[in-house]
Amino acid sequence: MTLRLAPLFALVALLSGCADQTVITDHSGPLALRVTFPSSPGGETEETALPFAVDDFEVNIRVEALGYDKEPMTDWSGIVSIRATPAQLLSAPFVTVTNGVADATVTLTRGYGQVRIWASDEGTDETPGSFATGVAPTLHFRFPTIAQVQETESTITSLMEHTYVHIRGWDLDLPDPRDMRVTAVTNDGFYVTDLSEPFGSYNSMFAFTFSRPEGIEKGMRLARLSGIVEEFLGFTEMGFPDWEVVDAPGEPEPPILASDIVCDSPEMEKWESTVVTVGALESDFRGGGECADYVEFGQWPALLLDRRGYPVQCAGGDARISVVNINTVPSFSFPECENFSPPATRELSSLTGILRHNRYASPSWILDVRDCRDFPESARPADCEQQLANPLSGPRKAPQWAYRDIPACEGHLTHR
């Protein structure tokens, strides 16, 4: 035992010798930064929370350098980084501290919940930082609505892309609760619409859950919806969502989508992810590659018709939209396309579905049918009742230029 412990005692002695070495600490930089508001910006408490806004919000801050004696460090100057979270910082991400203090105006936008502005001395390429840090008192903002998150001037980008956000629903503990309802459930997520806003006002969103979500059904009302806002081929979705169900009072009646706006993408963007009904339409395989698209992606092009049965005109051409029903109602099909032969025209007096956008599809706006009840009663397939009893959950096809693969399920490779 003595021989075995000898090396251990030698190691302890060696480490003890290392502990006697002098450690030189640089105290030339600040120990901490103190960040304050010279005047009240509002929102100091949850009861006085500021409204969520896409407009600029300016707040004056003061940054003071504190030395190792916890006193103001009036002989120190440097550049400190500025950040704000959860919010988007519009002003410069740094301020210059002179003689230990800096007064600056910070400009924010899209702040929600408990927003904190913090400063840190991270140094520059020429001068190493002390990494002193300080955080301002909490600013309280209301959570955004779906429309405030979705509204954009672009059909392929989102102003809150890559941002984790908490969307306000039917939370009676917060001011202005929103009637956020589930309008569709698919094998890879669900759709919600804020009925406190009029239809066609950016008030719908898709929550992407990778597989069919459990415990959620059409008509349910949500207290909140949280997740990361992402753009997938021009379609806004909330990734890694979390939600809270309040009750299930019933689903809304799908609104009628005006046929003459399908050529106006900025106007259609206001309806993205909304369950809508379009008027009369007919299949329109006019292009050489459209049968190939149908076979590969399950999409078929439709020509929208007016009351006289003529094509609706918009933007100098025919109003067309893509339809996808192969995932949910595969018995409504165009078998001629299997041999790449032009299929016979199929007409419908109306059709309901989820309005999606895909920048690479042609047409780029897609009506995704939920189930056979979205077809007019006279056009529902003979196996409609059987489909409702055993709804499909995959594999899923979608009109896009590339698949996003998901692990195989029951021997079938599932695609998005």
Per-residue model confidence as pLDDT tens digits over 261-285: 998 989 999 999 999 999 999 999 9
Report the pLDDT value the prediction gives residue 205, as an integer from 0 to 100: 96
Residue 228 one-letter amino acid: I
C-alpha closest to that of 275 among 351, 343, 331: 351
Would you say residue 397 lies in a domain?
yes
DSSP one-letter code for 21: S
Would you say residue 24 lies in a domain?
no
Report the pLDDT value the prediction gives residue 207, as an integer from 0 to 100: 96
Residue range 309-323: average pLDDT?
A: 90
Buried-state track 278-309, b at ≥16 Cβ within 10 A, e below 16 = bbbbebbbeeeebbebbeebbbbbbbbbeeee
pTM of the predicted model over 0.85:
no
pLDDT level of residue 409 (50, 70, 90 thresholds): very low
Q: Distance between CA 105 and CA 59 in Å, rounded?
A: 6
Q: Which residue would you say has higher pLDDT here, 9 or 403?
A: 9
User: Is pLDDT of 102 > 80?
Assistant: yes
| Least confident piece of the model among 150-164, 220-234, 348-362, 379-393 | 150-164
pLDDT level of residue 400 (50, 70, 90 thresholds): very low
Residues 72 and 192 in one domain: no
The pairing of strands 365-368 and 320-324 is parallel
367, two tokens = 């009506």
| Least confident piece of the model among 8-12, 252-256, 289-293 | 8-12
Would you say residue 396 lies in a domain?
yes
Structural domain including 401 reads: 259-415
pLDDT level of residue 411 (50, 70, 90 thresholds): very low
Give the rounded percent of residues in the chain with a pLDDT score beyond 70: 88
Would you say residue 7 lies in a domain?
no
Choose the final residue of a domain: 215, 247, 279. 247
Report the pLDDT value the prediction gives residue 414, as an integer from 0 to 100: 39
Would you say residue 392 lies in a domain?
yes
Choose the final residue of a domain: 109, 141, 173. 141
Phi and psi angles of residue 372, each rounded to the nearest 5 degrees, phi first: -65, -20
Buried-state track 44-67, b at ≥16 Cβ within 10 A, e below 16 = eeeeebbebbeeebebebbbbbbb
Q: Distance between CA 49 and CA 55 in Å, rounded?
A: 16
CATH code of the domain in which 187 resides: 2.40.50
Report the pLDDT value the prediction gives residue 18, as an integer from 0 to 100: 52
Residues 164 and 180 in one domain: yes
Residues 174 and 201 in one domain: yes
Q: Report in angstroms the alpha-carbon separations of 212 from 94, 186, 225, 394, 403.
A: 45, 6, 17, 10, 18
Report the pLDDT value the prediction gives residue 16, as an integer from 0 to 100: 53
Q: Distance between CA 228 and CA 238 in Å, rounded?
A: 5
Would you say residue 61 lies in a domain?
yes
Report the pLDDT value the prediction gives residue 39, as an integer from 0 to 100: 93
Report the pLDDT value the prediction gives residue 393, as an integer from 0 to 100: 56
pLDDT level of residue 397 (50, 70, 90 thresholds): low
pLDDT level of residue 1 (50, 70, 90 thresholds): very low
User: Is pLDDT of 357 > 50?
Assistant: yes
Residues 151 and 98 in one domain: no
Report the pLDDT value the prediction gives residue 145, as an integer from 0 to 100: 94
Q: Distance between CA 241 and CA 238 in Å, rounded?
A: 6
Phi and psi angles of residue 309, each rounded to the nearest 5 degrees, phi first: 90, 10
Q: Distance between CA 30 and CA 62 in Å, rounded?
A: 15
User: Is pLDDT of 5 > 80?
Assistant: no
DSSP string, 124-159: -SSSB----EEEPPPEEEPPPPHHHHH--S-SS--T
Phi and psi angles of residue 347, each rounded to the nearest 5 degrees, phi first: -115, 145
Choose the final residue of a domain: 222, 247, 272. 247
Report the pLDDT value the prediction gives residue 2, as an integer from 0 to 100: 44
Residues 197 and 272 in one domain: no
Radius of gyration of the chain (CA): 29
User: Is pLDDT of 131 > 60?
Assistant: yes
Would you say residue 306 lies in a domain?
yes
Report the pLDDT value the prediction gives residue 362, as an integer from 0 to 100: 77
Phi and psi angles of residue 150, each rounded to the nearest 5 degrees, phi first: -85, -30
Residues 346 and 264 in one domain: yes
User: Is pLDDT of 405 > 70?
Assistant: no
Report the pLDDT value the prediction gives residue 19, as an integer from 0 to 100: 52
Query: Please, are residues 102 and 38 in contact by the beta-carbon 8 Å criterion?
Result: no
pLDDT digits (tens, 9 = 90+) for 155-183: 777 777 888 999 999 999 888 899 999 99
Mean pLDDT value across the chain: 86
- Domains held by the chain: number: 3
Would you say residue 252 lies in a domain?
no
Report the pLDDT value the prediction gives residue 183, as an integer from 0 to 100: 95
Residue range 15-40: average pLDDT?
A: 74
Report the pLDDT value the prediction gives residue 103, as an integer from 0 to 100: 96
User: Is pLDDT of 260 > 50?
Assistant: yes
CATH code of the domain in which 112 resides: 2.60.40.350
